[in-house]
Structures are given as C-alpha cells and as structure tokens.
Amino acid sequence: MKYVIESKTYEKHINDEVHLYGLLHQLAFLAEKAKDEKDLENLVETAKRYGEITEEKFAAWRIPGRYLVFGDRKDLAELKAAELTPLTAVLKEHDAKAREKQRAATADDPAYIISGSAFRMLAGDLFDLLAQYSFLRNRVVEMKTEKRLARLQKNLSGENPSIRRMYRRWGFAENQVVTCYDILETTLRRAHLTPYDPEEAAEDGIGCGRCCALCGDHACEDDYD
C-alpha cells in the first residue's frame, strides 16, 4: 500500500532524525573521551537529558515507548493515521475535483456517449448527403438546355427515398420531416445519445480506466495495512 505524506511533515521527520543522530553521536563521543568519575557523571547526566528529549519526540510522534522493546507495528498505527494519507484517497479526491471542474466547464455543453453503430450510421449518412450534394451540383453545373433542366426538376419533385430512410434511422416518425436544426438535434439526441455522468462513470473506483492516469500503477482497493 502506498501513502502520501505532506512535505512539511516529511521535512520535520528528517530534522528529527538528524537531531537524534546528533545526540547519539555526542553520547558516543563523550563515552569515548571519558577518563575519570567526573566524566562518567557528565555522561550519565547527558544521557538522561538526551533520553528525555527522545521521549518527548516519541510522544509527539504518538509512538509508545514499548515499541523500542517489542517492535510491534500496531503501535505505529496512530502515527500512520495522523501523518499518512492512502494514495488511493488522494487520487479519489483529485478525480472528484477534476470531475467537478469538468462538470462546471461543460454545464452549457454537456457530454454524451454514442454507440459505435450509431456513430457509423451517422457518418455514413453524412457521407451519403455529401455525395448527393456533389452529384446534384455537377448536374446543375453541366446544365445546358431547358430540356435537361425540366428533366432534373421532375426528378427532384418527388420525395427522395434515401432521405426518408435517413429520417427513420435518425429516429423520426414516418410522417415527420426536418423543419429546423433544433428538431434534428433533439431527435438525434433522444434516439442515439446517452448523457455522460462523470459520477456514474467513476463508480468502478480508482484505476478503472475512466479516472485520472495517476492511479494507473496502483490498486483500487483501500488496503491500508
């Protein structure tokens, strides 16, 4: 399980470690230089004073003194809870903020999900419309006589079967036609689009493939052991 620690907490621990190392180094120096009873008394007093400093630090770290004797990792639980945050919790908070930012940014432009088949259908119909436009444009450009114009007008006077098939595929009823952009947009949205909700998309948890890339190498479970 990976954790996150605040920089100021980490730096404080480094300073404490350096401080404790300095005390230990000083005791070793005094012990090495002790020559007489007075030096030994000074060493004892210094060790007592340094011991009090160490106990104060352990108390601040929420580590009971018995940890030095038994080394039970359960005695570190309070320190862990106070200073460490599970990485999954940090990533979940990050993703929640990202989703809120996305929701605010798309409030007037909501996101939707479209199936692959619906997308291919719309792309195919768009291509068909472009092809029909290109064909009709070429016919008009090549128009030389009134007879050809009359023939073209006759061909265009009836309903285009392919357009009616497009209407049905888009979700229009048999007798409906497109009279404005809003009607077309509303019909397509109702028939082929699904509103995208970031909250629902994240229900599978961190690492599900829908959330931020930071968690890609970490498990989704909140295993704090």
Structure confidence by residue, pLDDT tens digits, 77-136: 888 888 888 898 888 888 888 878 877 777 777 888 999 999 999 999 999 999 999 988
Count of CB atoms situated within 10 Å of the CB of 192: 19
Distance of CA 182 to the CA centre of its chain: 34
Q: What are the structure tokens assigned to 194, written together?
A: 């699904």
Q: Which of 97, 129, 155 is the last residue of a domain?
A: 97
Instruction: Look at 15 and 205; give whichever has higher pLDDT.
Output: 15
Structure confidence by residue, pLDDT tens digits, 170-210: 999 888 888 899 999 999 999 999 988 766 665 655 444 44
The reply to whether 20 and 77 lie within a common domain is yes
Q: Is this prediction's pTM over 0.85?
A: no
Instruction: Look at 18 and 157; give whichever has higher pLDDT.
Output: 18
Residue 11 amino acid letter: E
Beta bridge partners of 4: 85
Q: Give CA–CA dist 122/192, Å, rounded.
A: 10
Answer whether residue 200 is part of any domain. Answer: no
As a whole number, mean pLDDT of residues 41-65 equals 89
Beta bridge partners of 84: 5
Answer whether residue 203 is part of any domain. Answer: no
Backbone φ and ψ for 58, nearest 5 degrees, come out as -60, -40
Is residue 151 over pLDDT 70? yes
Is residue 223 over pLDDT 70? no
Distance of CA 183 to the CA centre of its chain: 35
Answer whether residue 86 is part of any domain. Answer: yes
Distance of CA 3 to the CA centre of its chain: 17
Number of domains in the chain: 2
The pLDDT-based confidence of 152 (bands split at 50, 70, 90) is confident
The reply to whether 9 and 88 lie within a common domain is yes
The reply to whether 78 and 25 lie within a common domain is yes
Alpha-carbon distance values, 68 to 25, 36, 50, 51, 59 (Å):
19, 31, 16, 13, 13
As a whole number, mean pLDDT of residues 69-75 equals 83
| Residue range(s) defining the domain that contains residue 27 | 3-97
Q: Which of 66, 97, 128 is the last residue of a domain?
A: 97
pLDDT of residue 206: 43
Answer whether residue 43 is part of any domain. Answer: yes
Answer whether residue 14 is part of any domain. Answer: yes
